[in-house]
Amino acid sequence: MNAGPSTPPHIGVFDSGIGGLSVLRRLRREMPQCAVSYIADNRHLPYGAKTPAWLVERCSALTQHLLERRGAILVLVACNTATTHTIGALRARWPGVPFVGVEPGVKPAIATSRRGRVAVIATEATLQSARLRSLIDEHGRRAELRLQPCPGLADAVDAGDDAAIDALVDEACAELVAAEVDTVVLGCTHYPLVAERFARRLGPDVVLIDTADAVCRRVRALLPVASDAPALGRGALSIEATGPVEGVQRAVERWLGEAVQVVQSDL
């Protein structure tokens, strides 16, 4: 945390693929002075099918890369599955480094819901995690919560397969409509990238909850004051992929709205 007034804070971000772009684009809009290094670990997606022990080992390697080779002073775990299973271990290994994770917005969803009928859509790993259960135990007593898996959707978003995305969103939304929910938590960072498809199928009376705003507020609170210094200009952005670069490059061009060349990682 030694960034001075003339040095832009450097944020390290990782996800299993391109889902974290939904958080990255919010960071770039809200905190443009910050430098950001993003890793899409697409060689190992999907994370939702991995064991907790594997996730801890892999996420530790990604974190070490961001801290030691990219110079990050804060690490954002831009993946719900990785957050629920690894962020405690990462904080224990690097106690001097601030970590920010993403988790389903159960609390704001319940506060927003008009009729107490809330759904959380996420990967199976997130839905089965102890962290989500803790959130439900803490905040869910005032609502009827539906846990809705959406298998394959994150993969389809990573692949940019619009036909598969539409089919999977249609299937999920049919169940949500039948359950008469009025608030839906987008519990995977991939899902906000296709939020307009959920909104179109669920209709204007259903509220979608994306926690990117809360994540950005937390990052801002943990960074040095220099993150607000206009004189710094726009911070540098680097994006690397551990697997095929082409799909990540297409996703960056489609969803990030910023010209940046994705590079191949040796991780």
Contact 126, 85 (CB under 8 A): no
In degrees, to the nearest 5, what angle opens at C-alpha 217 toward C-alphas 215 and 220?
A: 110
79 is catalytic: yes
Burial letters for 130-151: b for 16+ Cβ neighbours within 10 Å, e otherwise? ebbeebbeebbeebebbbbbbe
- Of the candidates 18, 38, 51, the one whose C-alpha atom is nearest the C-alpha of residue 165 is 18
Contact 142, 116 (CB under 8 A): yes
Of the residues 34, 173, 188, 216, which is catalytic? 188
Indicate the residue type of 24.
Answer: L
Task: Say whether 260 sits in a helix, a strand or coil.
Answer: coil
String of DSSP letters for 30-91: H-TTSEEEEEE-GGG--GGGS-HHHHHHHHHHHHHHHHHTS--SEEEE--HHHHHHHHHHHH
Tokens (6 digits) for 25: 């684009």
216 is catalytic: no
Q: Which residues neighbour 137 within 8 Å (Cβ) at sequence distance 6 or greater?
A: none
Of the residues 34, 79, 150, 216, which is catalytic? 79
My answer on whether omega of the bond before 46 falls inside 30° of 0, hence cis, is: yes
Contact 68, 146 (CB under 8 A): no
- Of the candidates 7, 14, 33, the one whose C-alpha atom is nearest the C-alpha of residue 267 is 14
Q: Report, as residue numbers or ranges, the catalytic residues.
A: 79, 188
